């Protein structure tokens, strides 16, 4: 996990512009480099480094002797870089996983380069020999990248939008800041004055397709057919492989553990594989909540079962409320459920950075979208509707759950790893017949749960634990974080303000005092940028106007355990 920043065709004072790059310094606390491009003095790169894989030669922009005309800054991890080097007889000059992008680009061009990468990434690749610039982002947008462009060919790029909001340019009209689309690359022509012109934007991978890099995977060909036992075996195989390939690190690995199904499966598999790989330390797991919260109690049970070094972070509503403004600054969104769920993740990440030596953090993001885990899937009108909704959620992960997971960990210089968003695992699961993936016997994610039945990987009570949103499960069932927020913000926004909410905020008008407050904070930090959120995350097929699972008519509280 790093922070990348670049300018092309800059007409303003570089020493002033570069201060914007320091707004994402939290993403790479180990080192910073700012470098002009030879021959294009109005083009430059900025890089904040979190050293995880190659701690000696991993600094960027990356350039090697074989390709002196190529400049690369990228944020991410390429899990198959060694397999690619072996398959195509590349001769790497560093031990870093990013160098393989240069060799692939030189051999195959940009589209195949991107398609062969098994990992999470955002890249900016400059070819001064062909006067070309390329930017791209992984399939689900696990690693962020934003762009600011003007009509006269000025382009600025940054891992987070906040690194672009104070960029100055010569055009009289304001420049928009937009995310680079996940699963796409964009090609630009580079002019002699450093300005650029967009040539094409193309998708290199769709989440429903088997990824091209599967041909380089060490995993053997999976058995075909859709009989239940074959499918469950394939899910287990792909999931374990997804966790295993993500062990690539020279820094200590830890895992977030809420006590729900997804994080528990990740943590248990991680502990198992760490022992098999003989990692020289015990896996640390981290949970957050009040003393009697469902999440704390469940996570404690899982940690004892799998034998992790477990840490519990005490959470109070007061501490959470105090963190909201910082959380919105890092998130760059005012989406209600994203902000709510981010507070706990932000605070547990802060604890990890300050109180432990874990830097690479595994988490269970993506499982609910992939395996139809949200409670509202029980109300889907048909298996086809469920499958279509699941695919929509996967394509919007970069706006919601993946955004939350990246920003809250990156805020504290941690690197996130999300095995449920492995390309091969997701492509396989999404290819299954619609009726196999729907909730069964009143239980969501039934296929995933059933795939790990009778293995004793995690306690049965956890394997079949009902879905509980992270923001809901952090506190007692008697009074959730959701309720605490409503009560506190009741006095922060008056009724007159709510009556005029749609006039004050015509785009995505807030419908609750909580939403109004989040929007106010966002507008103070990022004025005029409300379009960054195209729409709120809300459940479908229900009348609920709030994203909390506890507001759904069919929600039943989980009994508190002793």
pLDDT of the residue at 286: 98
Confidence band for 283, pLDDT divided at 50, 70 and 90: very high
- Count the neighbouring beta carbons within 10 Å of the beta carbon of residue 442: 9
Residue 132 is given by DSSP the state E
| 264 marked among binding-site residues | no
Read off the pLDDT of each residue in 205-209 and give the average, rounded to a whole number.
93
- Burial class for 399, CB neighbours closer than 10 Å (0-12, 13-18, 19+): buried
pLDDT tens digit sequence for 126-142: 999 999 999 999 999 99
pLDDT tens digit sequence for 42-77: 999 999 988 776 666 678 899 999 999 999 999 999
| 190 marked among binding-site residues | no
Percent of residues, the chain, with pLDDT higher than 70: 95
Confidence band for 562, pLDDT divided at 50, 70 and 90: very low
CB 121 within 8 A of CB 61: no
pLDDT of the residue at 391: 98
Long-range contacts of 186-190 (CB under 8 A, 24+ apart): 186/134, 186/135, 186/136, 187/110, 187/132, 187/133, 187/134, 188/8, 188/132, 188/133, 188/134, 188/135, 188/155, 189/131, 189/132, 189/133, 190/8, 190/40, 190/43, 190/126, 190/128, 190/131, 190/132, 190/133
Q: What angle do CA 309, 314, 317 make, to 5 degrees?
A: 150
Listed residue (339, 279, 349) closest to 311, CA to CA = 349
DSSP-assigned states of every residue in 190-224: EPTTS-EEEEEEEE---TTSPPGGGGG-SSPPPPP
- SS3 state of residue 293: coil
Alpha-carbon gap, residue 511 to 112, rounded angstroms: 45
Read off the pLDDT of each residue in 523-527 and give the average, rounded to a whole number.
97
E strands, 325-478, in order = 358-362, 415-417
Listed residue (455, 562, 560) closest to 232, CA to CA = 455
CB 256 within 8 A of CB 263: yes
More confidently predicted of 40 and 111: 111
pLDDT of the residue at 473: 66
More confidently predicted of 217 and 553: 217
pLDDT of 179 higher than 60: yes
Alpha-carbon gap, residue 246 to 228, rounded angstroms: 28
How many H-runs (helices) and E-runs (strands) does the chain carry? 21, 17
Percent of residues, the chain, with pLDDT higher than 90: 82
| 473 marked among binding-site residues | no
E strands, 128-275, in order = 132-137, 146-149, 155-158, 177-179, 184-190, 196-203, 252-256
The residue from 2, 44, 207, 255 that is catalytic is: 2
pLDDT of the residue at 215: 86
| 256 marked among binding-site residues | yes
Cβ-proximal residues to 301 (8 Å cutoff; 6+ apart), any chain? 259, 459, 461, 462
pLDDT of the residue at 561: 41
More confidently predicted of 402 and 31: 402
Q: Tokens 């939350």 map to which residue?
A: 404
Read off the pLDDT of each residue in 88-95 and give the average, rounded to a whole number.
94
Alpha-carbon gap, residue 263 to 273, rounded angstroms: 15
E strands, 229-300, in order = 252-256, 284-289
Alpha-carbon gap, residue 521 to 342, rounded angstroms: 15
Residue 18 is given by DSSP the state G
| Phi-psi label, residue 247: left if phi above 0, alpha if psi -120 to 50, beta otherwise | alpha
- Count the neighbouring beta carbons within 10 Å of the beta carbon of residue 17: 20
pLDDT tens digit sequence for 304-334: 999 999 999 999 889 999 999 999 999 999 9
E strands, 97-251, in order = 119-127, 132-137, 146-149, 155-158, 177-179, 184-190, 196-203
Q: Is 2 a catalytic residue?
A: yes
Torsional sign, CA 334, 339, 345, 348: positive
pLDDT of 555 higher than 80: no
Least confident of 26-30, 177-181, 394-398: 26-30
| 152 marked among binding-site residues | no
> Model-level pTM?
0.94
pLDDT of the residue at 549: 59
Q: State the chain's maximal CA–CA distance in angstroms.
A: 70
Cα radius of gyration (the chain):
23
pLDDT tens digit sequence for 324-364: 999 999 999 999 999 999 999 999 999 999 999 999 999 99
- Count the neighbouring beta carbons within 10 Å of the beta carbon of residue 266: 27
Confidence band for 486, pLDDT divided at 50, 70 and 90: confident
pLDDT of the residue at 1: 67
CB 520 within 8 A of CB 510: no
pLDDT of the residue at 479: 74
Beta bridge partners of 148: 156, 177
pLDDT of 478 higher than 70: no
Tell me the angle at which helices 383-395 and 423-431 cross, rounded to the nearest 10 degrees.
160
Sort strands 309-314 and 284-289 into parallel, antiparallel or unpaired: parallel
pLDDT of the residue at 171: 79
Alpha-carbon gap, residue 224 to 432, rounded angstroms: 11
Task: HSE, CB side, 13 Å, CA atoms: give it for residue 106.
Answer: 18
CB 4 within 8 A of CB 124: yes
- The overall average pLDDT reported for the chain is 93
Backbone angles phi, psi at 341, to 5 degrees: -70, -25
CB 440 within 8 A of CB 455: no
pLDDT of 6 higher than 60: yes
CB 241 within 8 A of CB 276: no
Alpha-carbon gap, residue 512 to 493, rounded angstroms: 9
Rounded alpha-carbon distances, angstroms, from residue 250 to 91, 123, 410: 22, 22, 18
Alpha-carbon gap, residue 96 to 82, rounded angstroms: 10
pLDDT of the residue at 326: 98
Least confident of 97-106, 148-157, 473-482: 473-482
Read off the pLDDT of each residue in 170-184 and give the average, rounded to a whole number.
90
pLDDT of the residue at 472: 62
pLDDT of the residue at 290: 87
Confidence band for 256, pLDDT divided at 50, 70 and 90: very high
Alpha-carbon gap, residue 466 to 508, rounded angstroms: 31
Tokens in use for 445? 């994610």
CB 84 within 8 A of CB 119: no
Read off the pLDDT of each residue in 456-478 and give the average, rounded to a whole number.
80
Rounded alpha-carbon distances, angstroms, from residue 107 to 10, 64, 112, 121, 271: 31, 15, 9, 20, 38
């Amino acid at each position: 996990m790093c922070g990348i920043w670049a300018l092309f065709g800059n007409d303003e004072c570089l020493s002033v512009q570069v201060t914007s790059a320091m707004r994402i310094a939290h993403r790479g606390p180990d080192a910073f480099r700012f470098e002009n491009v030879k021959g294009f003095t109005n083009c430059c790169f900025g890089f904040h480094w979190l050293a995880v894989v190659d701690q000696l030669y991993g600094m960027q922009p990356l350039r090697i002797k074989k390709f002196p005309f190529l400049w690369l800054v990228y944020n991410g991890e390429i899990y198959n870089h060694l397999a690619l080097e072996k398959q195509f007889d590349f001769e790497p000059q560093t031990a870093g996983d990013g160098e393989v992008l240069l060799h692939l680009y030189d051999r195959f061009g940009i589209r195949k380069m991107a398609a062969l990468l098994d990992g999470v990434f955002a890249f900016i690749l400059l070819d001064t020999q062909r006067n070309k610039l390329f930017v791209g982002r992984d399939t689900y947008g696990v690693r962020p990248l934003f762009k600011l462009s003007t009509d006269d060919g000025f382009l600025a790029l940054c891992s987070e939008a906040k690194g672009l909001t104070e960029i100055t340019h010569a055009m009289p009209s304001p420049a928009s800041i937009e995310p680079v689309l996940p699963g796409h690359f964009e090609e630009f022509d580079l002019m002699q004055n450093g300005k650029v012109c967009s040539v094409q934007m193309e998708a290199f991978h769709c989440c429903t397709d088997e990824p091209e890099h599967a041909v380089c995977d060490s995993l053997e060909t999976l058995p075909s057919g859709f009989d239940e036992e074959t499918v469950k075996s394939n899910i287990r195989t792909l999931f374990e492989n997804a966790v295993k390939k993500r062990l690539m690190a020279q820094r200590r690995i830890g895992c977030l553990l809420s006590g729900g199904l997804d994080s528990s499966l990740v943590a248990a598999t991680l502990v198992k594989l760490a022992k098999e790989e003989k990692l020289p330390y015990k896996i640390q797991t981290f949970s957050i909540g009040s003393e009697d919260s469902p999440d704390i109690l469940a996570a404690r049970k899982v940690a004892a079962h799998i034998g992790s070094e477990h840490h519990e972070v005490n959470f109070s509503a007061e501490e959470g409320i105090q963190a909201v403004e910082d959380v919105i600054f890092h998130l760059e969104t005012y989406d209600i459920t994203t902000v709510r769920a981010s507070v706990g993740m932000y605070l547990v990440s802060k604890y990890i950075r300050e109180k432990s030596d874990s830097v690479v953090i595994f988490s269970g993001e993506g499982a609910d979208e992939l395996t139809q885990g949200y409670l509202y899937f029980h109300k889907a009108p048909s298996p086809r509707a469920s499958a279509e909704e699941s695919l929509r959620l996967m394509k919007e992960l970069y706006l919601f759950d993946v955004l939350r997971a990246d920003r809250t960990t990156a805020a504290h210089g941690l690197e996130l790893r999300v095995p449920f968003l492995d390309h091969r695992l997701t492509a396989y699961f999404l290819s299954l017949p619609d009726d196999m993936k729907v909730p069964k016997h009143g239980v969501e994610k039934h296929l995933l749960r059933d795939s790990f039945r009778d293995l004793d990987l995690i306690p049965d009570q956890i394997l079949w634990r009902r879905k509980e949103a992270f923001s809901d499960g952090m506190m007692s069932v008697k009074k959730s974080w959701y309720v605490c927020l409503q009560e506190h913000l009741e006095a922060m926004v008056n009724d007159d303000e709510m009556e005029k909410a749609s006039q004050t905020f015509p785009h995505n008008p807030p419908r609750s005092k909580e939403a109004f407050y989040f929007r106010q904070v966002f507008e103070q930090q990022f004025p005029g940028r409300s379009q960054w959120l195209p729409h709120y995350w809300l459940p479908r097929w229900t009348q609920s106007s709030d994203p909390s699972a506890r507001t759904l008519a069919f929600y039943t509280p989980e009994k508190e355990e002793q």
